[in-house]
Amino acid sequence: MIKRTLLFALLLKFSLVSFGENLSPDQEKALKQVMDQLNNPMERQEIIKNDPKAKEADQVVKETGGPHSEEVYKLAAEVMQTLAVEAKGDPDKMEELLEKARRDPASFADKFSPTQKARLKILAEKIGKSKSTP
């Protein structure tokens, strides 16, 4: 459950723009930029340096994900696409979806693709194992 909540926190911290199923060129560009920020440690570091909320999210990722933090970021970038499609370009809807995800992460995770669900499960197991080994 913590791992799912972590993904939603990351999405909220790194995404200030929402996107729809039929993306405009500007929306496509913004989505790519957010995904690049989540996937690229150098780009992400620039955001973290200048945004206290992003810095806080990054700290949570590192504390929770440990040696698997980059995998957490990569999965969060993929989930961003799921969120973008459901929001249909409405920033208020995206914020509402993230708030619902915080309250009920399991139901949001049900919207993940089968591949994303499998990756989340494997990632949670890896993190669990790394936390239990001294």
By percentage, how much of the chain surpasses pLDDT 70? 77
How deeply is 111 buried, as exposed, middle or buried, from its count of CB atoms within 10 A (0-12, 13-18, 19+)? middle
> How many domains does the structure of the chain reveal?
1
The 10s digit of each residue's pLDDT in 20-55 is 445 667 767 777 788 888 899 998 998 889 988 888
Tally the C-alpha atoms within 13 A of residue 104's C-alpha that lie toward its C-beta.
Answer: 7
Q: Decide which of 133 and 12 is more confident.
A: 133
The 10s digit of each residue's pLDDT in 5-25 is 556 556 555 554 444 445 667
How far apart, in whole angstroms, are the C-alpha atoms of residue 98 and residue 78? 15
Tell me if residue 101 falls in helix, strand or coil: helix
b/e map of 6-17 (b: 16 or more CB within 10 Å)?
bbbbbbbbbbeb
- pTM exceeds 0.85 for this model: no
Q: What per-residue confidence (pLDDT) applies to 20?
A: 42
Q: What per-residue confidence (pLDDT) applies to 21?
A: 47
Q: Which residues contact 2 (CB under 8 A, 6 or more apart)?
A: 64
Domain encompassing residue 107: 2-132
Q: What per-residue confidence (pLDDT) applies to 112?
A: 83
The alpha helices in the chain, defined as continuous H runs, are 2-14, 25-39, 41-50, 52-65, 69-87, 91-103, 105-109, 114-132
